[in-house]
Amino acid sequence: MAKAPKRPSSRDERGAGGEPHQRSATPLTTNQGVPIADDQNTLRAGVRGPALLEDFHFLEKLTHFDHERIPERIVHARGSAAHGTFVAYKAAGKYTRADFLQSGVETSVFCRFSTVAGGAGSVDTPRDVRGFAVKFYTQEGIFDLVGNNIPVFFVQDAIKFPDFVHAVKMEPDRGFPQNASAHDTFWDFISLAPEALHMVMWAMSDRAIPRSLRMIEGFGVHTFRLVDAKGDATFIKWHWRPTLGMQATTWDEAVKLAGADQDFHRRDLWEAITSGAFPSWELCIQPIPAEDVDDLPYDILDPTKLVPEEDYPLIPIGKMTLNRWPDNFFAETEQVAFHPGHLVPGIEFTNDPLLQGRIFSYTDTQLSRLGGPNFHELPINAPKCPYANFQRDGIKRHTVDKARTNYEPNSLEPAGPRETPTGFASVAESLEGTKIRRRSETFADHHSQARLFYRSQNAVEQRHIQSAIIFELSKVESEAIRTRVLGHLDVIDEGLGAAVAEGLGMTGMADTITTVVGLVDMPPSPALSLLGNAKPTLEGRKLGILIGDDADAAIVTRLKAAAEKAGATAQVVATKINGTLPADHIVAGGPSVLFDVVAIVTGDAGAQALAKMPSAVQWVADAFVHCKVMGVVAAAQPLLDKAHVVADDGVIELGKSVDALFTKAKAGRIWAREDAAPAIKPAKAKPAKR
Ligand code: HDE
């Protein structure tokens, strides 16, 4: 008779490495629900023998793992998202019957921010457009506002989108550069498709290197229509305004942040939300009366054009607050499927040819990304209001439809779903036209609004645009592409063209560009300046305190308290993580690029020691070069000297009070430091009068 198996001794209850098995009230099972006795070792023929094919647990586990990834988004692959709520104010009720825009209605939202060009694992801080997509789970179904942080787009017609995206992404023969527009194919396309120039101006501005996703504006880009209960429609643009105000990094910071913290924006959003500092945005509409449309010097159907706020003011219609980080990145942030065609009654499209193309593309892409037509059943995509129809089956169908009828009209299930007269119905619009492949002549001016944007920037911002273009073109190998771009820059603004040519050593080499139509000089729009509209606040910002080993703990405490009072957070950077004062980073692990404002607190010996550490010297030098307001104690002087810090009104001595530091820092960076040693001189712009 076979011997009964021996009861496991306490020694047998250990895994291969000798570790005790972990115990839990929840049994670990296969996907078929079978409890698993050993999840540490594969089944094998003898302890040193080959694996056995009958190990179904191992096969299931590896098969699932092998398929853990789905195709990443072809654009906007790198993203971070959060749940939140949207509360409507009173104002929109006049324009739309959309239920979620009526006064006081609260709606759950899921909001995903993204970069455009890089892959899902790329860094957070490249020069790039940011996606700003919001899913509203309204009581009348899902409404997706799938926008960007720039109010215009690169191309006018959806048929050019694949070309544009191919040109901006890594070059196909070499597989680089990843997540960067500074290469030949991008500028080749841009120079030959000048409709992109307006957006290029924005992409070369500091808008494309945001400090935080909490500090970007959002735009619906296209003109949409709001429709009221009587069926009257109003053209509108969508705008999101961040409560924390807008802020950008400097280019050098963005580059260094890519190394210091690849997840800089994701971590920033996560830290804010998990600590209860919920970011919020005001949603605004910008109505444009239909009777004005034909007289404007641009076509409101052209997505490469904006509508100046000075001409058509914004109306705040509600507030979004992001207050919950997703439980699972894949299930929510990765699987969320946005679609500009997810509309609710009261909101409608216009004939913008880019928008029209998007209506096709977003469902189509989910078929390959999410594996079939039932992606709306994934919890993150499912409406939170009841929904029912006669669509059935298909790959990955989860709903168990119980009714006998899967068609209508039917008389067998009178309680089944039926049409609602007040449901979504497009506004009646008479249309007549010739079947034709041609753009409207009202789309032909590609330079005037690029000029409008450039001339609406202040001298610092213009200088940043110039140096961004110089940097990008310096990476373009083909001289013919560079000279073509220079020609377009000359048309946009002679000063811009001259400054970029000078920076490249290509003065006098610009191509002559003849525009199809004459330019329209529009008065500058102050609303387009990021710095001009910066908010004097430190709310949501970060103070970095570099301490020497002999730092005065009382000053550090005062700084932390003042930061908290200002709504900011403070972190200590020290030579040791567990030294004389507890620290959040060691010097090499917490470079000053991570902070908005810095303080240096040390005694004499500590300062001497820091002055001998290259990472500490770099910390201070970077803070100064990045125009940050710096609070310093007198003892820090040897370190400041080593870092070439020149005393100016942004270097503030920390005494008994630290208030002066905070007052100064609220006003933003000390841009005059750039003037002291500018790489290039700001070019003179010739703004027209409004
Ligand atoms: Fe997108 N876009 N897009 N786009 N887009 C996608 O959809 C597309 C455009 C935008 O966080 C894709 O699910 C076409 C403008 C955002 O998941 C894809 C055209 C604007 C996101 C797609 C445009 C956007 C996307 C890739 C020209 C600003 C990320 C994966 C006709 C108003 C949403 C996906 C998220 C994503 C197509 C132009 C914004 C392939 C064909 C203009 C924020 O379907």
Ligand 1 center to residue 359 CA distance, Å?
A: 10
Determine the length of the chain.
Answer: 690
Amino acid in position 396: K
Q: Is the pLDDT of residue 181 over 60?
A: yes
Residue nearest to ligand 1 atom 29, measured at CA: 76
Name the residue of 76, 149, 335, 366 whose CB sits within 8 Å of the most ligand 1 atoms, as the mutation to test its pocket.
Answer: 76
pLDDT at 15: 54
Distance CA 683, CA 687 (A): 12
Residue nearest to ligand 1 atom 8, measured at CA: 358
pLDDT at 676: 75
Distance CA 156, CA 446 (A): 10
Check if the beta carbon of residue 122 is closer than 8 Å to that of residue 115. yes
Check if the beta carbon of residue 95 is closer than 8 Å to that of residue 226. yes
In short, whether 178's Cβ falls inside 6 Å of ligand 1 is no
Residue 358 Cα: closest atom of ligand 1: 31
* 477 CB burial (10 A radius; 0-12, 13-18, 19+): exposed
Distance CA 197, CA 448 (A): 10
Amino acid in position 218: G
In short, whether 76's Cβ falls inside 6 Å of ligand 1 is yes
* pLDDT confidence tier of residue 657, bands split at 50, 70 and 90: confident
Name the residue of 358, 359, 368, 369 whose CB sits within 8 Å of the most ligand 1 atoms, as the mutation to test its pocket.
Answer: 358
Ligand 1 center to residue 75 CA distance, Å?
A: 7
Name the residue of 112, 114, 146 whose CB sits within 8 Å of the most ligand 1 atoms, as the mutation to test its pocket.
Answer: 146
Residue 357 Cα: closest atom of ligand 1: 31
User: Mean pLDDT in the chain?
Assistant: 95
> How many separate helices (H) and strands (E) can be counted in the chain?
17, 16
Residue 354 Cα: closest atom of ligand 1: 31
In short, whether 353's Cβ falls inside 6 Å of ligand 1 is no
Residue pLDDT, tens place only, 474-527: 999 999 999 999 999 999 999 999 999 999 999 999 999 999 999 999 999 999
pLDDT at 23: 81
Ligand 1 center to residue 434 CA distance, Å?
A: 29
pLDDT at 680: 44
Looking up tokens 């007052």 gives 663
| 3-state secondary structure (DSSP) of residue 307 | coil
> Could you give the C-alpha distances from 16 to 7, 116, 201, 338, 651, in angstroms and in order?
18, 46, 61, 46, 60
CB contact burial 172-206 (16+ within 10 A = b; e otherwise) = eeeeebebbbbbebbbbbbbebbbbbbbbbbbbbb
Ligand 1 center to residue 160 CA distance, Å?
A: 13
- Using CA atoms in the order 23, 26, 29, 34, what is the torsion angle rounded to 10 degrees? 110
Q: Which of 21, 31, 41, 148 is catalytic?
A: 148
In short, whether 270's Cβ falls inside 6 Å of ligand 1 is no
* pLDDT confidence tier of residue 7, bands split at 50, 70 and 90: very low
pLDDT at 656: 81
**Structural tokens at position 250:** 């400097």
CB contact burial 521-552 (16+ within 10 A = b; e otherwise) = ebebbeebbbbeebeebbebbbbbbbbbbebb
| Strand ordering across the sheet containing 597-601 | 585-586, 569-574, 542-547, 597-601, 630-632, 651-653
Active site residue 458: no
| 3-state secondary structure (DSSP) of residue 230 | coil
Residue pLDDT, tens place only, 552-605: 999 999 999 999 999 999 999 999 999 999 999 999 999 999 999 999 999 999
pLDDT at 685: 47
pLDDT at 18: 58
Q: How far, rounded to the nearest angstrom, does the alpha carbon of residue 541 sit from its chain's CA centroid?
A: 18
Residue nearest to ligand 1 atom 39, measured at CA: 147
Distance CA 355, CA 367 (A): 20
**Structural tokens at position 230:** 């009587």
Alpha helices, DSSP H, located in 224-332: 251-260, 264-274
**Structural tokens at position 609:** 């020691």
Q: 369: closest CA among 331, 337, 398, 329?
A: 337
> Could you give the C-alpha distances from 427 to 231, 357, 433, 582, in angstroms and in order?
7, 20, 18, 64
Residue 112 Cα: closest atom of ligand 1: 11
The sign one gets for the Cα dihedral 140, 141, 142, 143 is negative
φ, ψ (nearest 5 deg) of residue 226 = -100, 140
| pLDDT above 90: percentage of residues in the chain | 93
Helix, strand and coil content of the chain, in percent to the nearest 5, comes to: 35, 15, 50
Ligand 1 center to residue 208 CA distance, Å?
A: 17
Could you tell me which residues are beta bridge partners of residue 80? Answer: 113
| 3-state secondary structure (DSSP) of residue 593 | helix
Residue nearest to ligand 1 atom 42, measured at CA: 153
In short, whether 597's Cβ falls inside 6 Å of ligand 1 is no
Check if the beta carbon of residue 448 is closer than 8 Å to that of residue 524. no
Ligand 1 center to residue 512 CA distance, Å?
A: 34
Check if the beta carbon of residue 96 is closer than 8 Å to that of residue 102. no
Q: Which of 21, 31, 67, 76 is catalytic?
A: 76
* pLDDT confidence tier of residue 677, bands split at 50, 70 and 90: low
In short, whether 158's Cβ falls inside 6 Å of ligand 1 is yes
pLDDT at 351: 97
Ligand 1 center to residue 341 CA distance, Å?
A: 11
In short, whether 265's Cβ falls inside 6 Å of ligand 1 is no
Residue pLDDT, tens place only, 246-300: 999 999 999 999 999 999 999 999 999 999 999 999 999 999 999 999 999 999 9
Q: What's the rounded mean pLDDT across residues 185-206?
A: 98
Amino acid in position 26: T
In short, whether 358's Cβ falls inside 6 Å of ligand 1 is yes
* pLDDT confidence tier of residue 51, bands split at 50, 70 and 90: very high
In short, whether 355's Cβ falls inside 6 Å of ligand 1 is no
Residue pLDDT, tens place only, 445-483: 999 999 999 999 999 999 999 999 999 999 999 999 999
Ligand 1 center to residue 179 CA distance, Å?
A: 16
Ligand 1 center to residue 397 CA distance, Å?
A: 25
> Could you give the C-alpha distances from 653 to 625, 635, 647, in angstroms and in order?
18, 10, 10
Distance CA 532, CA 194 (A): 28
DSSP calls for 621-666: HHHHHTT--EEE-GGGHHHHHHTT----TTEEE--S--HHHHHHHH
Ligand 1 center to residue 147 CA distance, Å?
A: 8
Distance CA 118, CA 64 (A): 27
Residue pLDDT, tens place only, 348-387: 999 999 999 999 999 999 999 999 999 999 999 999 999 9
Distance CA 188, CA 478 (A): 9
Q: How far, rounded to the nearest angstrom, does the alpha carbon of residue 648 sit from its chain's CA centroid?
A: 34
Residue 222 Cα: closest atom of ligand 1: 32
| 3-state secondary structure (DSSP) of residue 575 | coil
pLDDT at 14: 52
Distance CA 27, CA 615 (A): 50
Check if the beta carbon of residue 524 is closer than 8 Å to that of residue 686. no
Q: What's the rounded mean pLDDT across residues 85-106?
A: 98
Check if the beta carbon of residue 125 is closer than 8 Å to that of residue 265. yes
DSSP calls for 415-454: TS----TTS--PPP------------GGG---SHHHHHHH
Q: How far, rounded to the nearest angstrom, does the alpha carbon of residue 231 sit from its chain's CA centroid?
A: 35
* pLDDT confidence tier of residue 12, bands split at 50, 70 and 90: very low
Name the residue of 80, 361, 370, 375 whose CB sits within 8 Å of the most ligand 1 atoms, as the mutation to test its pocket.
Answer: 361
pLDDT at 165: 98
Active site residue 239: no
In short, whether 363's Cβ falls inside 6 Å of ligand 1 is no
- The kind and range of the H/E element at 190 are helix 184-192
